[in-house]
Structure 1
Amino acid sequence: MLLSPGLHRSIARAFAVVVEIAIFGALLLLLVAGAPRPAFAQMGQGPGSGPPMQPAKPAARGAADAGAAPATKPSGDAGAHPAAEPAGDIDGGAPEANGAAASAPATQAAGPTINIPQSEAEKAEGTPITRIDISGNRRVARDDIVSYLREKPGNYFKVDNLASDVRALWDSGFFDDVEVDMTRSDHGVILRFLVRERPNIKAVEFEGNSEIENDKLQEAIEVKANTILSVPSVRRSVQKIKDAYAEKGYFLADVESAVEPQRDNEVIIKFKITEHAPVTVRRITFVGNYNVPDDELRSIMQTGQSSIFSFGSGGPYRQDIFERDVLMLNALYYDKGYMNVQVGTPRVMLTPDREGIEITLLIHEGPRFKIRQLKIYERDADGKEIEPLGGRRALRQLVRAKSGDYFNRAELVKDLQAVRTVYRDAGYANMEADPETELDPVKREVDIIVPIRRGPLVHVERIEIKGNTKTRDKVLRREMEIEEGQLFSETKLEDSKKRITALGYFERVDVSTEQGSTPETININFEVTERPTGTFQVGAGFSSIENFIATAQIQQANLFGNGQSLALQAQISGLRQLISIRFFEPYFLDSDWSTSIELYDNLLVFPDFSRRSIGGAATFGYALVQPWLRIGVTATVQHDAVDTANVNTFFGSSSGFVSVFQRLPLANLFNSGRTISLRPQITYDTRNNRLFPSSGVYLQASTEFASSALGSEIEFLRHEFTGRFYYPLFGQTDQPGSGFVLKMNNKVGLITSPLSNGVPIFARYFLGGILDVRGYRLRTLGPRLPLNSALDVNSAPIANGANIGGNLQYYSNLEFEFPIIDKVGIRGVAFVDTGNTWNLEDQFCKTTPAPQFSNLVSPCFSAKSLTYLRWSSGFGIRWFSPLGPLRFEWGFPLNKLSFEEASVFEFTIGNFF
């Protein structure tokens, strides 16, 4: 290829420039390589540096280099010749110049040095400490401050220790500032710590809290009165208060803290709380539950369950309740055989309106296991299999599970408890029956082996009673079925606890056991918490007849701690006065006999008659099976005065009532006279508490007869039966006065007389009111007669007929009692009542059959009449107050008559049943 002359000249010039650059670079490299290296005779001092290096030693004689520089020339001089650099090592040792002598003294002098003067603390390093002074402290004691210091009088002073002491005092949180002064002398050093204390907390106050009491909040926080202020503790306390509210479902609660200065370096800490509304559970979602439906899982959870006060919102969220629910879910799966179930960490999310939460639970069910084999046997101390207590067959029958069944932990635990009870009732208190399981995940089967070791026979060495500050030991010991010196029995121990609880004297009864002085003995501890057994009950009500009614009762159920009962009752109004006193001794002369004595003076004034009863009764009973089954007999002597004329009250004023029976041929109903009667009875009582039962049964049957053979002027025969049943619901324990309880009360009564006059009116049955059938006014239920107000047939009829009471009565009360605020004893009740009374005496039916009246109040009786019942339903609130149990109840009649009210509200003090 041919190039143009111009292009050829340009290339030649470029090549020449490149050659020139290359030559210049080579010369520059040669110049740099030949320059002498400076010799540093002294290293700069710094932390960790050694002492300054001295100039090189003079070289040996006869080997001087004519070109060597003088020894005084500073090191690093630009004019130094390369030959003048010593050939030795850096510390001035012998040079390594092929055996030649060293040159003359080094030509490089020491470089510039920076000297930092030592501090007073560094100068005092290692000096003994003669004294330590503390100043500025007002509340923190000197000894407390000194306890944080590593520096002590007599020790040698160290700077590092001083820095550590200052840090320790600061970290203690007591001080806002810490300064140290040091005085150095010939004898040592004196240290003076000057501190500035943080303020003292004078008080801690809460504002805006209604759901959580001050005491509970004070327990939750770190900040306490009469302590030193710590700002981090205040911040942490704010979060702890929020956590406490979150556990109750108040996730939106706001908490602000304020520090208000006071005199004498004190402050008041105020926590301002805005609770907002509790967050309710809107929805619970389960993921992974392929074999157990959502409804079954939700049914065992308390979280998300609506109450009568939640109005369908799903109920509030509480952390402790939710944790219990997760355990219940695990238990449910275990009981179904899912032995590898896992319930994951729940995901809790606020709803967009921030008024509810949604909970998602992830469940890994795992396989369901069947029982491949179940072996239960007993072995001795050497491990050899022996004959079990009661025989192998009887032992195996106690365990209901068998091969091929799905594993059920709850049933297995219950069966093994039955096995343990058999052994422990025989005195083997230390027996062991712990199941061992082995899973086969491939075949989804489990082997269960239960080895039993009975251990030695155990006797009761000592029974200790604690906590009975009022009740005497003998009151508790006579209820125990287990005694010192006897063989241990688990059933007797549990029955002893139930009997002590049933007394009603204690809020709690706890039983524990511990080994005695030897492995063959055991000590039993009963720890009780006394409850007030004296009550002052007051009730009040209104009626169209008596206007205002007041009742009062003073009762001591544990008189002087002897287990005796004394009650004084009074009921007073313008038309009524009842006074009675009753004494009860459950163990007469420390025997199984019981006795009671009652005296009374009663006046009752009704629109159609008045009755005054003065008398007394004595009862003797005996425990056939202590304490569940008792028999007794009651002897009563009283005088009844019945008047149909215009009557006066105890206050001396006229009642204003004139009896309609005064001028009618029914006056034989109002016989007056003496009544002497005997009433044998039998009682079966398994209630867990006599005052506030929540489980058990109470049955009582009695027959009372008053006869002229006994000297009685009034003759009758009365049969009565009472049945009460208590059942705890929703897996609640049978702790008295707590949880959800289903209760039922039934009473049947029949009274007849051999006399032609029939049963006097004061002995007949009248129903209605808060004590039997609620929703109806007091004593308004029963048969009625269509009578005129006088013997004249043209006289006006009695409005709605005359209520004459009945010979036969039946009523029943079904109640569902539930907690509202359990901590303060407020409970709710929903009820259904039914009942009626019937007349059995022909004289009333024949003379006035009353066909115009409803069958519900007919004076004529037939077998069909038993179906004519009065019904009501309602609700109420009960408060177990310090004054006694208060009852506020609203009743609504379900088959009311035209003259009856649509609802009745009543309140009183005292238990119903």
Structure 2
Amino acid sequence: MHINLLFNKKVFLLGISFFSCFLLASQKKTVKTVSIIGAEIVKESLILSAMRTKKSTIFSSQEFDSRILRLDAISVKTLYISNGFLEVSVEDSTRIVDGKVHVFLKISEGKQYFLRSVEIQGNQTITDKTINKILEFIPKKPYDPVTANKNLSLVRQEYEQYGKLFSSIMITDKIGDSVNVQIQVEEGPDVYIDTFFIEGLQSLGEDNVTREIAFKSGDLYKKEEIDLTKRRILQTGVFSYAGITPLPVAGSDTTVNVLIELRQFTQKQWSSEGGYFPIEYYRGVEPIPGIGGEIEWRNRSLARSTTNFSARVIVQGLLSEDYLYLIYPKFGMDMDFSNQWFLERRIPTRIRLFYETFTNLGQEGSLSPVMRYGLQLTSHKKLDKFSFIETGLNWEQFIGFENDQQEIEQRTFKMRGLLDRSDNPLFPHNGYRLTGEVSQTGGILGGTRDYVKIDLGINKYIQIHKKIVLAGRLKYGMIFGWEESYNDVQYEKFYLGGSSSLRGWDMLKFKVDENDMPNGDIIRLMMNWEIRFPLFWILGGELFIDGGYLTDSFRNQSIDQIEWDGGFGITLMTPLVPLRLDFAIPLIKSTGGFNSWKIQLGASYIF
């Protein structure tokens, strides 16, 4: 009897839970419209972009949340105040019709105030111009107290660059027909470092961290050196967190102790990743979208040091022209040792041993597997978050099978760099990128080949209207000393065609031989121009033209040699990278007509 009662009670409670969930689900309402009332000077599109409450569309259903709407009203008011409307009022209201919510924001803008003057007192280390620039105070422009208060911490950080750790800044404004601002600065004394303490090392030797510290006892406390120390500690690859905190010294207002708090990554771990992404499959070709995956075992602290060790197994493959199956599979294994120090100097260094087999389309049109193994020694110097200079020495051996038993030994010195001045690494809207690579194979290094390769490029991004971007790329490359007898097993020469270069041609087949096999050359010019724009939801569009040529002689170069294609594409914005589906058609120069359309699938923007 007791068991039956208990069972019935559980069934009853479960039924109540399901019924409650049903009631909650039935009470959820969606947003039908969002109306802005009273906005005259500030554009309605700017107001809507500041709100999290959106109207529902055929692609997405926007659930109504009264708490979010109240926060939206605050956000809109803040937007107005940052544009000089100091007396603005924002009222939210709703109306429900047929179970749908209609949202209204009633705005009373009030008077817009402009900044008349800024008076700064007490500053000696930092100029008036610098303070005004940081706080974004511009006379005769709308007064923006929101940005000024938000940027006060940046002024204090600027003072920390000069050892002024205990500065204070107070802003007062006098509001009449316009706004007069007074800024009172108390710089405080110069602050020096007494000593430092390290916490969180676990089993790692302390000297592995102390050598990364950019300051020493007795130095003036400078934020630049503190930030550099953080970056250098994190660059070791051992720590997931590095925090540096100044601690006041009792009885002194001019000295501090520095506490360095560390948190280490898991020292040993397995990891795997895979997907559809650009693969550097051939050296003379832009990265080609393909399917790949890898399994890695990593030890982040080899022998209680900051030497990182990893061992990987990699499998990659390119898709066929109809994207239905994999072709040219590539299998590889490597071992990697890296450290920020080399021969007791801070030279970020990586030593890599590798082995791989891959399938190329041979000169005779037959499939020819190739084995490649070797050693790489590289030094990677970061200039900022995304820019870098990398130098290295490569020794590698190629062994062909089937019809080609020739062994190829290459010894190469290589230098490559990236200067990234774009505003976003994945979705750039403004700025530019400069790329360059110079390599010397053979020469004093020896080996079976002797040639020099240079490849330079520039990407430019211009936001021409809101979210519409004009993007352009120009790349020029040349090879000196290439002999016709060299077998191009790894496509060292330049090739064009495919989703990452000239989209009006099949992969690598801009220029082909008598067997319809890819035919590269020693000089390459390539240019791409795109207009990128949003469509709806997470879909975007692009209109593009591509141009370029391949030639074997410097004297044969001319604008008339450039072959062109054009087309359009659809992009799908994923959380990682945009996916592209491009439709391109080449222009036939001899007739002035067009060839057949090509469909190219790509991961991320072409550049």
Taking structure 2 as the reference length, the TM-score comes to: 0.70
| Aligned-partner Cα distance in 2 for 1:574–1:431 | 64
What does the per-residue CA deviation read over 1:842-900, in whole Å, with 9 as the maximum and x for residues that have no partner?
A: 69x9xxxxxxxxxxxxxx863244462565623346577xxxxxx89452322269987
2:281 aligns to what? none
Matched, 1:638 2:384: no
> Does the CA contact (< 8 Å) of 2:73 and 2:105 recur in 1?
no
* Cα drift, residue 503 of structure 1: 7.7
| Aligned-partner Cα distance in 2 for 1:510–1:815 | 42
Change (3 A) 1:287 1:835: closer
Partner SS state of residue 591, structure 1: coil
2:284 aligns to what? none
> Does the CA contact (< 8 Å) of 1:636 and 1:677 recur in 2?
yes
2:85 aligns to what? 338
Alignment length (residue pairs)? 554
Change (3 A) 1:320 1:447: same
Change (3 A) 1:294 1:579: closer
1:677 aligns to what? 412
1:891 aligns to what? 581
**Which of 754, 763, 768 is the aligned partner of 2:481?**
754
> Does the CA contact (< 8 Å) of 1:623 and 1:630 recur in 2?
yes
Unaligned residue ranges in structure 1 (runs of 5+): 1-201, 203-258, 379-386, 542-548, 648-669, 732-739, 788-797, 822-826, 846-859, 881-886
Matched, 1:401 2:137: yes
1:783 aligns to what? 511
Change (3 A) 1:299 1:890: closer
Q: Which amino acid aligns with 2:441?
A: A
Change (3 A) 1:490 1:696: farther
**Which of 835, 839, 844 is the aligned partner of 2:550?**
839
Unaligned residue ranges in structure 2 (runs of 5+): 1-5, 278-289, 318-325, 588-593
Q: Which amino acid aligns with 2:84?
A: G
Matched, 1:601 2:356: yes
> Does the CA contact (< 8 Å) of 1:471 and 1:558 recur in 2?
no
* Cα drift, residue 784 of structure 1: 2.9
What does the per-residue CA deviation read over 1:793-849, in whole Å, with 9 as the maximum and x for residues that have no partner?
A: xxxxx6xx443134326476989899x99xxxxx98877787566321269x9xxxx
Matched, 1:803 2:518: yes
Change (3 A) 1:436 1:482: farther
Q: Which amino acid aligns with 1:333?
A: Y
Partner SS state of residue 701, structure 1: strand
1:516 aligns to what? 248
1:291 aligns to what? 41
Partner SS state of residue 112, structure 2: coil
What does the per-residue CA deviation read over 1:730-758, in whole Å, with 9 as the maximum and x for residues that have no partner?
A: 99xxxxxxxx9999896836242435627
- 5 Å-filtered alignment, 1:679-694, equals 679-684=414-419
> Does the CA contact (< 8 Å) of 1:280 and 1:317 recur in 2?
yes
Q: Which amino acid aligns with 2:32?
A: R
| Aligned-partner Cα distance in 1 for 2:292–2:32 | 47
- 5 Å-filtered alignment, 1:143-222, equals none
Q: Which amino acid aligns with 2:314?
A: Q
- 5 Å-filtered alignment, 1:350-499, equals 350=96, 352-354=97-99, 356-378=100-122, 388-390=124-126, 401=137, 404-413=140-149, 416-440=152-176, 444-460=177-193, 462=196, 486-494=219-227
Larger Rg: 1
| Aligned-partner Cα distance in 2 for 1:305–1:563 | 53
Change (3 A) 1:367 1:538: closer
| Aligned-partner Cα distance in 1 for 2:30–2:215 | 50
> Does the CA contact (< 8 Å) of 1:287 and 1:361 recur in 2?
yes
What does the per-residue CA deviation read over 1:55-108, in whole Å, with 9 as the maximum and x for residues that have no partner?
A: xxxxxxxxxxxxxxxxxxxxxxxxxxxxxxxxxxxxxxxxxxxxxxxxxxxxxx
Q: Which amino acid aligns with 1:681?
A: R
Q: Which amino acid aligns with 2:46?
A: E
* Cα drift, residue 536 of structure 1: 1.4
Q: Which amino acid aligns with 2:475?
A: V
1:19 aligns to what? none
> Does the CA contact (< 8 Å) of 2:226 and 2:244 recur in 1?
no
Change (3 A) 1:634 1:510: closer
Change (3 A) 1:524 1:430: farther
1:348 aligns to what? 94
What does the per-residue CA deviation read over 1:745-790, in whole Å, with 9 as the maximum and x for residues that have no partner?
A: 96836242435627644322345567x35978973442134x3xxx
1:58 aligns to what? none
* Cα drift, residue 261 of structure 1: 1.0
2:440 aligns to what? 705
* Cα drift, residue 435 of structure 1: 0.6
Partner SS state of residue 17, structure 2: strand
- 5 Å-filtered alignment, 1:722-761, equals 748=475, 750-755=477-482, 757=484, 760-761=487-488
**Greater RCO (Cα-Cα under 8 Å, separation 6 or more):** 2
| Aligned-partner Cα distance in 2 for 1:876–1:746 | 22
* Cα drift, residue 421 of structure 1: 3.0
- 5 Å-filtered alignment, 1:456-605, equals 456-460=189-193, 462=196, 486-494=219-227, 513=245, 515-518=247-250, 519=253, 520-521=255-256, 523=258, 534-539=270-275, 551-555=292-296, 559-560=300-301, 562=306, 564=308, 566=310, 567-571=312-316, 576-589=329-342, 591-593=345-347, 594-605=349-360
| Aligned-partner Cα distance in 1 for 2:29–2:213 | 49
Matched, 1:874 2:606: no
* Cα drift, residue 482 of structure 1: 5.9
* Cα drift, residue 686 of structure 1: 8.5
**Which of 75, 90, 110 is the aligned partner of 1:328?**
75
| Aligned-partner Cα distance in 1 for 2:124–2:232 | 32
Query: More strand by proportion, 1 or 2?
Result: 2
* Cα drift, residue 581 of structure 1: 0.9
What does the per-residue CA deviation read over 1:508-552, in whole Å, with 9 as the maximum and x for residues that have no partner?
A: 8585746434354265565769599853134589xxxxxxx9743
> Does the CA contact (< 8 Å) of 1:875 and 1:891 recur in 2?
yes
Q: Aligned-pair RMSD on alpha carbons?
A: 5.5
Q: Which amino acid aligns with 1:374?
A: V
> Does the CA contact (< 8 Å) of 2:494 and 2:520 recur in 1?
yes
Partner SS state of residue 784, structure 1: coil
Change (3 A) 1:333 1:439: same
| Aligned-partner Cα distance in 1 for 2:421–2:137 | 31
* Cα drift, residue 624 of structure 1: 8.5
* Cα drift, residue 303 of structure 1: 2.5
| Aligned-partner Cα distance in 1 for 2:382–2:149 | 35
| Aligned-partner Cα distance in 2 for 1:398–1:803 | 55
Q: Which amino acid aligns with 1:868?
A: W
Q: Which amino acid aligns with 1:335?
A: S
**Which of 49, 54, 69 is the aligned partner of 1:304?**
54
